[in-house]
Structure 1
């Protein structure tokens, strides 16, 4: 995926595209094959030989990592390296220059091409470090599949982009946008520890809802697990007796000041809370464990992993960074209950006004570390009274610090619905909402 500019020039012999991610390896150039004019015997050979095409793509993977690491100021020097490589390659392998009339590829030139290209890739790779070195060392199929994930999730400049294995300016911008939404440092290169999180990306809510209708509901499927039947859009606004055909009677009942009643059910040792207001179920909460988990397909279209497999950063990235980091307490919390950190997003008309909240009680190491890091970031600039007031939940001033702190914290509690959970009501109450 590249942008128009000098990148689209002829300083490299070929700019390659790849067949759709996860298809059988069938690498081929990005131009029409076979070449109708035969103006470049090398281009014609690349059309016919996927081994040569893959070698070229492996080189470009390293070349563009080198280019990204060095920055825009080094572009002229990097371009000169590429031109020198093209000339040296053709001389070493006796491949005629582009435009040579009647040229043919010499015997052994294909093997020579692959060998020289691999050597050049290794030479450029030795100058790389950090995430750029990790990117260049990555298997080409995974390299392209990650690029396609970013495109599918709406992080590229155009939904019509296709993964081509070239991490040019457009892909670098997409990576930085994902890193910002995930809460990570914006290097523009995907580090090894970021790979699993990019792989979790589905189609983001904004892109999916704007382009096609939601997937069919599972609410009426008797073969679907009960929790998956409940966490569906058409299960919002229903009457409680209908819900209790799936859940049985409530174990606990609590009523809030806004006349919302929370009914807590146990479904195969999973704790589900249904929030009723005005005689209708307006939202659902779930204590998340590996065995008590649901995909969020109806709500954020991130269907591959279930909520138990996601971190706060994964959820934020799936929501395009629109969720705000929150905590019900960061200072002098007392012993009455464990504080929570998490994310809240308010649904728009395009999302049918469905709100999403995810939380983690501050009880284990990832949550404790995130809680401390966010609190320490605030303490550098704010008084204890400011932190106690919960203003940081409202003004967004420290949202980036909060997201960065909690990006790797697993989700332990989930709420989806048109109202708010009890935790959400407490947090929004600090903001006068």
Structure 2
């Protein structure tokens, strides 16, 4: 007996699962506003310590711990996002993450103990945002806008970090204290929570609904090659990202640049990260196969690192810009990969959670490993060479994440 054709309701649900729902203009504008305000916060608190450390007199040990806590905590708390999404939905999960951001940024102003504790809270909130933002984009925006929205996410992340990083030193010098400078992060956190408030009206899906798109026979995500490939790509890219953020000024100073110029290099790196993060997902989302984009991202990063290792000091800023563009692409491209490889929001959440849990834990070792290699050799050549080699190995391990099963 021939199978009955799918009902119009099931057909519409399937089409929406593939392309995303249509957005009314008013609701769409509020969603984009909340999305941007939340995205601005994802690296704000973490970009304050480096510029502020010389002015505030933080000890090297304090700077090291404050640099280590974010990737460690983002890796450890990434599974929390799946729990919140399952119980509350993406919109409410992000709203609660916004409230956590506010609490954490306020706590960071309350002396050194508060700075440590608040960094843990902010990192936990950011872990939730990192996992849920790509899932929200896949669910609430048309499929053809996924790349643009992930590019906007990365661009907003870079702009927020650069803006606050540029303001912390003047504020600290004007007030004579590091606490008001740290407190600048409260403003975008409050705006993020407020921006997500209108989305509380969006009801989470009912688990009993049957659309014909659910998967009950899928193996656990950790048993799939695509999940481990995504984890490898995200982990090694983030390993390189945090290593560069931690040590680029020192690398440039040892290359012969002044400390002031090295600080400018850090700003140029962040701007390059924002540019690469904006462009890469837009290009990648237009294709079904992202393997060329994965390879290009890794090669751009490797080119920047090699330039910093071997090129004359006079060209250092060029290689900083190249490296920043590659690192930005490497941070934003996984969002597109989650959307393309995930068969539904649950699967996408599982892929994102696994990649970020292991990836951030791997990234936390980067700055410490680079410091140890530098101490052992007296130069930055060995650390940069190790990061470059690791990226090239990732070019093989990460390819499965770039295409659907043939």
Larger Rg: 1
Q: TM-score per shorter chain, which class?
A: under 0.3
Between Structure 1 and Structure 2, which shows a larger proportion of strand residues? 1
Give the alignment's TM-score, normalised by structure 1: 0.23
Relative contact order: is structure 1 or structure 2 higher (C-alpha 8 Å, sep ≥ 6)? 2
Give the alignment's TM-score, normalised by structure 2: 0.25
Between Structure 1 and Structure 2, which shows a larger proportion of helix residues? 2
